[in-house]
Amino acid sequence: MSTDPKPIPKSARFVLGGAAGITATFICHPIDVVKNRMQMSAIGQRKKEFKSSFHAVRGIVGNEGLAALYYGVSAGVFRQATYSTTRLGVYQFLVESFQNADGTISFPLRTFCGMTAGIAGAFVGTPADVVLIRMTSDGRLPPEKRRNYRNVVDALVRISKEEGFLALWTGVVPTIGRAMVVNATLLATYSEFKSKLLETKLVNDNIFCHLWASLGAGFIACITSLPVDIAKTRIQNMRVIDGKPEYKNMVDAMMQTVKKEGFFALWKGFTPYFAKAAHSILMLIFMEQFTKAYRRYWLRDTSGKGSGF
């Protein structure tokens, strides 16, 4: 039987990407809850509501029960079904389209592919992102101010009815901005790290290689994207007071954060945010493993080749 790698259909790329993102979400959703609560804590104040990630977990579980760590998981799954399906599928489609005859592609071009995939994924996934932010942050509000969405479908319907259909794309600009930064660093850097590791001949294209490449890419993506993520989170969770929104745009949200809470508030919640990189790490690992399984059991491809990132 030939060991030459067989091409994967473009449609399968999207399905595999979505499946990888959803699987990682079930494992990492509690981290997302903690991150969002810490980013929304004590807005406008220098005194933090939570001293650390562990303090946040203890407070959430103590006040709302263990199940609160999985509140909004339906929105998390829906987000991955839209956002990750689109970004991973588009990224691999573009990489395959631009790569040279020998399968190589330059890092700047990979970065462009990552940014483009981020834009597409962010636009498609913003409604789910709005719901996810609101559902995971709801428990910190006084009972009379909570939105109390039952699930992602209820949230989508209520937001459309109560605030207008376009409200589902609240914060789409900062969401796209964050996605461009994240995917330009995460996907392109992962591909580059993986390529360099394989060139050393010290590791094979296996889970060990994928783990180290995703760890490095995840750390860089966190440093560069957290300030944008802070602004995005606050814009999507803001309320309109006397007909005036709390923030004008992403830059205004960042400037108000620095003015009221200090410069390093732009990296508030870094620990859970970096821990949330576990989602990206697992997503990339699952993507590799799912792709290998697809090649082996569906395409009968014995080459052992992974995602092709």
Instruction: Tell me the pTM.
Output: 0.74
Contact 108, 190 (CB under 8 A): no
3-state secondary structure of 259: helix
Domain count, the chain: 1
DSSP 243: T
CATH of the domain at 165: 1.50.40.10
> Considering the domain boundaries, does residue 2 fall inside one?
no
Domain presence at residue 1: no
User: What would the mean pLDDT of 166-172 be, rounded to a whole number?
Assistant: 90
Helix (H) or strand (E) holding 245, with range, is: strand 244-245
Question: Is 75 inside a domain boundary?
Answer: yes
The answer to the question of residue 35 being in a domain is yes
Full domain range(s) for residue 290: 10-297
In this predicted structure, what is the pLDDT of residue 46? 52
The answer to whether 52 and 290 have CB atoms below 8 angstroms apart is: no
Which tokens hold the place of 253?
A: 């949200």
Is residue 194's pLDDT more than 70?
yes
| pLDDT tens, position by position, 221-248 | 888 888 888 888 888 777 777 778 888 8
Whether 210 is covered by a domain: the verdict is yes
Per-position DSSP letters for 5-19, written without gaps between them: PPPPPHHHHHHHHHH
The set of residues, in sequence order, having a beta carbon less than 8 Å from that of 297 and lying 6+ positions away, is none
What is the per-residue pLDDT across 18-36, written as a single tens digit (0 to 9) for each?
999 999 998 888 887 887 7
Decide if 20 is inside a domain. yes
Does residue 308 sit within a domain?
A: no
d(CA 218, CA 248) in angstroms, rounded, equals 30
